[in-house]
């Protein structure tokens, strides 16, 4: 488990990408074939860049949905629409490396879906919490009651 700290507001996509990259590479390193240090470092940088774009897309999608309708706060977190594109982009990136076969394996791709899905869902929840904490309507109040029990719910005490 990793803890992310912010000085206010949702974490930027590059921070999410760093954590996701670290999680993926730490977990798969034990099972992946050995590779040269330079190749592994290049892959890490490229993966982090790729995941920055994908985390950014997830966060932007969530923000647009909330701007369109605060009732979105009550919908289930669903990272699935973003996952396959992200996993396939990682597999394509890995095809440039000597360890490409590892990322072609179904169990590796399933691991990526689970791990990235958890990170995407958490990022989506953070976007919702950030928006709800600043919202005035009944959807924001309901979200705060559900996820911030015991916390102040009126605007004056939240500022």
Cα gap 143→141, rounded to integer Å: 5
Which one, of 25, 28, 9, lies nearest residue 17 by Cα? 25
Q: What pLDDT is recorded for position 121?
A: 96
- pLDDT per residue as tens, the chain (159 positions): 566 666 677 888 888 888 888 888 776 666 555 656 678 888 999 999 999 999 999 999 999 999 999 999 999 999 999 999 999 999 999 999 988 999 999 999 999 999 999 999 999 999 999 999 988 899 999 999 998 866 555 444 444
Q: What pLDDT is recorded for position 76?
A: 96
How many CA atoms lie within 13 Å of 11's alpha carbon, on the beta-carbon side? 21
Domain ranges of the chain: 37-138
Which one, of 121, 94, 98, lies nearest residue 109 by Cα? 94
Q: What pLDDT is recorded for position 157?
A: 43
């Amino acid at each position: 488990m990793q803890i992310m700290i912010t000085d206010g507001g949702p974490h930027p996509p590059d921070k999410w990408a760093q954590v996701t990259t670290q999680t993926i590479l730490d977990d798969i390193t034990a099972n992946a074939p050995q590779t040269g240090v330079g190749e592994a470092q290049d892959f890490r940088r490229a993966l982090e860049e790729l995941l920055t774009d994908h985390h950014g897309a997830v966060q932007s999608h969530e923000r647009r949905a909330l701007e369109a309708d605060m009732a979105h706060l009550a919908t289930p977190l669903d990272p699935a629409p973003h996952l396959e594109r992200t996993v396939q982009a990682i597999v394509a990136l890995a095809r440039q490396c000597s360890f490409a076969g590892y990322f072609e394996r179904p169990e590796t791709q399933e691991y990526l879906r689970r791990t990235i899905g958890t990170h995407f869902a958490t990022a989506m929840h953070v976007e919702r919490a950030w928006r709800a904490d600043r919202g005035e309507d009944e959807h924001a109040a309901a979200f705060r009651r559900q996820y911030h029990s015991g916390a102040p719910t009126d605007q004056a005490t939240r500022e």
